[in-house]
């Protein structure tokens, strides 16, 4: 009896080391893509004197999108994850970094991450509502929907609220094409966002 239990324990321990998913050892490798600003600024503008201090909160995203996995949709009502393609960072967090870099390079604001001991003049709050590869047709499109709110911290008032929607066609029907189109969509969203902020000044 004791010997049988010992054999069973050894078998279970060794079983944990077995990869059932890849018996042949030829499974595709996971590719990690970096999300970039597709229309990055050619040159940086120095921050002008007396520019308001803009606090930029991290971009939030829904539970399904707040992951490093790339999302696709074969129909409007369904979503799925690419199995062998991932982002190097969660899209919401990465988008906030690209947004701060873009605003910082324009020189219209003194940009800082919200929190800590910085007392700001304005607060920018953004939410990534949709960010997926629409694969209902080949090669499909990359869809990005962003909602932004600008708040005056001095007066505690909402200065503006805007939703941006961008759809960029893919060049190829795979994760690499989706990642390239996502860069372009992010660039377009940041263009629209900065223009909207300028209209509120």
Q: Give min distance, CB of 127 to another protein, in A.
A: 11
22 versus 43: smaller Cβ distance to another protein: 22
The residues binding another protein (CB under 8 A) are 20-22, 24, 26-28, 55, 57-58, 60, 62-64, 66-67, 70, 72, 80-85, 114-117, 119-120, 123, 133, 135, 138-140, 153, 172-178
66 versus 89: smaller Cβ distance to another protein: 66
- Both tokens of residue 56? 């930029």
Q: Give min distance, CB of 1 to another protein, in A.
A: 30
Q: Give min distance, CB of 50 to another protein, in A.
A: 18
**CB 112, CB 104: distance < 8 Å:** no
Q: Give min distance, CB of 124 to another protein, in A.
A: 13
Contacts of 158 (CB under 8 A, 6+ apart): 149, 150, 151, 152
């Amino acid at each position: 009896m004791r010997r049988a239990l010992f054999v069973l324990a050894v078998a279970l321990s060794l079983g944990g080391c077995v990869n059932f998913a890849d018996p042949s050892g030829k499974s595709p490798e996971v590719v990690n893509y970096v999300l970039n600003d597709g229309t990055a600024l050619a040159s940086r503008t120095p921050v002008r004197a007396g520019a308001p201090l803009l606090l930029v909160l991290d971009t939030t995203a829904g539970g399904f999108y707040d992951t490093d996995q790339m999302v696709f949709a074969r129909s409007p009502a369904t979503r799925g994850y690419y199995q062998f393609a991932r982002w190097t960072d969660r899209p919401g967090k990465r988008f906030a970094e690209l947004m701060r870099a873009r605003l910082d390079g324009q020189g219209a604001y003194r940009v800082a991450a919200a929190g800590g001991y910085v007392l700001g003049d304005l607060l920018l709050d953004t939410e990534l509502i949709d960010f997926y590869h629409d694969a209902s047709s080949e090669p499909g499109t990359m869809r990005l929907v962003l909602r932004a709110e600008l708040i005056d911290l001095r007066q505690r008032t909402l200065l503006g609220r805007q939703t941006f929607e961008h759809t960029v066609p893919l060049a190829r029907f795979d994760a690499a094409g989706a990642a390239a189109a996502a860069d372009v969509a992010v660039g377009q969203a940041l263009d629209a966002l900065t223009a909207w902020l300028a209209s509120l000044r």
